[in-house]
Amino acid sequence: MMTEDKSGPGGPEDLSPDPSCEDRTTEEDKQQNGELPVKAAPPEEFVHPEGGWGWVVMLASMWCNGSVFGIQNSFGLIFQCLLREFGSEDDPDLRFKTSWVGSLSMGMIFFCSPIVSIFTDILGCRVTAVGGAAVGLVGLLASSFVKSLGVMYFTYGIVFSCGCSFAYQPSLVILGHYFKKRLGLVNGIVTAGSSIFTITLPYILSGLLKKIGLQHTLRVLCILMFILVLAGFTYKPLLPIKPTSSRDGKLRMSRIFNRNIWKSVGYRIWAFGIPAALYGYFVPYVHLMQHVEERFGKDSNKEVLLTCIGITSCLGRFIFGSVADFVKGVNKVFLQVASFFVIGFMSTMIPVCQMFGGLIAVCLLMGLFDGCFICIMAPIAFELVGANDVSQAIGFLLGLMSVPMVVGPPIAGFLRDKLGSYDLAFYLAGIPPVFGGILLCLIPWVEARRRRKEVTLGKEQGVDQKMIGNEKDQEEARTKVGHSVL
């Protein structure tokens, strides 16, 4: 019996290897040696929770959007304090120099967007957001101890704003991990955070600046950034991580440096037309408070103007976001064109208003169409480059938008310093939106022409294939006839 057991299959004397084991071991060895690619398990279809912890993430993202852009949109009040703290009326370039602080801050948020997308892709949303918020906190806290305008350029204009940029973009990306069907609604709620903060923060800042001064006010604002650090820890990723290999690394690099988006002529026009329209966009946010104080006195209720912009901007995002759902194709561009025309015209109306009520009406319309411009950026990018390239398309666009964001306010400050009035600055601020809007009108025409070419090319290819098929049939027929004769 012992002999039979030993000589039986699988016993010690059975020296023939199991073919399945041999094959499995060989494949594993080859994979470890790099001879064969690692075979990933078939991916299971990911089901978005559509709620649960996602609602906490939504509130954290809303706080991020509100705190970052609420502070940026209220810079006009900080600008006035900077004029008093670091400047002198004897300085002929006072407003030109001071406005660089705010314009650098807003510009760097957009300038860093392509870089932030790379870090988010490599490190993930949570690490990028928490690290960015921490950097922003350090920059804002350091700004509260600064005693010169030159250092403020670095601490507030660069460090604080770069941190805000790294905190902001992951707050939008993480929403796609938790929502799919409700993603439009959630995005609307999150982006409305900036409007809510823009409505309330000016009154808080105005009171703080009067009672405790600029330095202590900046330290109070650090509380918003500290909460933003904590909010970043809620960004728990849910989407499965794809296995990496040398081939996947090359694919990742191609995704990071995506050149496909620039093949679209419509996108190229859009990517350069929008920055061209934005040279005057940030001018009211920086200089409007000072203009109102000079025109209507220091006791004027200037904070209500930022409140008007915030309220109607929030309404505009919901109204025009819904309208855009019913507008097919790149015709959504015309909504953006209309918004630029209205914003440009309203900018030129600011110096014309001799009554405070007229200025309120101007700000209400500017805010409404500002919301229109912002809420349909993603749908237009989707129409121009497709779903696979839309994140890169928006990232590069935001990077290009940084240039006019930085340049516009200092030019307006320079004109005020030289001419003694903001009138010409606001008149000129209305020209770029109109020019950019005219440029964007080319996009539907270019896209329609491209589609006609594709249809024509498809028909020609179809005719060519039919001709080739007919020629093959004739050749086969001749061959068969030849065989029958022989």
Predicted confidence at residue 2, as pLDDT, reads 41
Phi-psi region of 50 (alpha: psi -120 to 50; beta: other; left: phi over 0): left
| More confident site: 400 or 256 | 400
* Span 438-481, pLDDT tens digits: 999 999 888 888 888 878 777 666 656 666 666 666 666 555 54
Whether 194 and 69 have beta carbons less than 8 Å apart is answered as yes
pTM beyond 0.75: no
Rounded to whole angstroms, the Cα distance separating 436 from 447 reads 18
Q: Which residues contact 440 (CB under 8 A, 6 or more apart)?
A: 269, 270, 273, 274, 277, 333, 336, 337, 340
Is the predicted pLDDT of residue 261 greater than 50, yes or no?
A: yes
> Domain limits of the chain?
52-236, 259-462
Distance, CA of 278 to CA of 429 (rounded, Å): 9
pLDDT tens for residues 28-65?
455 444 444 444 444 456 677 777 888 999 899 899 98
Task: Give the CATH fold of the 259-462 domain.
Answer: Growth Hormone; Chain: A; (1.20.1250)
Q: Which CATH architecture has domain 52-236?
A: Up-down Bundle (1.20)
Task: Give helix then strand counts, H and E, for the chain.
Answer: 22, 0
52-236 and 259-462 share one fold: yes
Alpha helix stretches (DSSP H) within 181-297: 183-232, 246-256, 265-277, 283-296
Residue whose tokens read 């706080």: 63
Instruction: State the chain's mean pLDDT as an integer.
Output: 78
CA distances (Å), 377 to each of 27, 213, 320, 364, 382, in order?
49, 38, 11, 21, 9
pLDDT tens digits along 319-329? 887 777 677 77
Measured CA distances, 263 to 176, 453, 461 (Å): 27, 15, 22
Query: Is it the case that residue 131 has pLDDT exceeding 90?
Result: yes
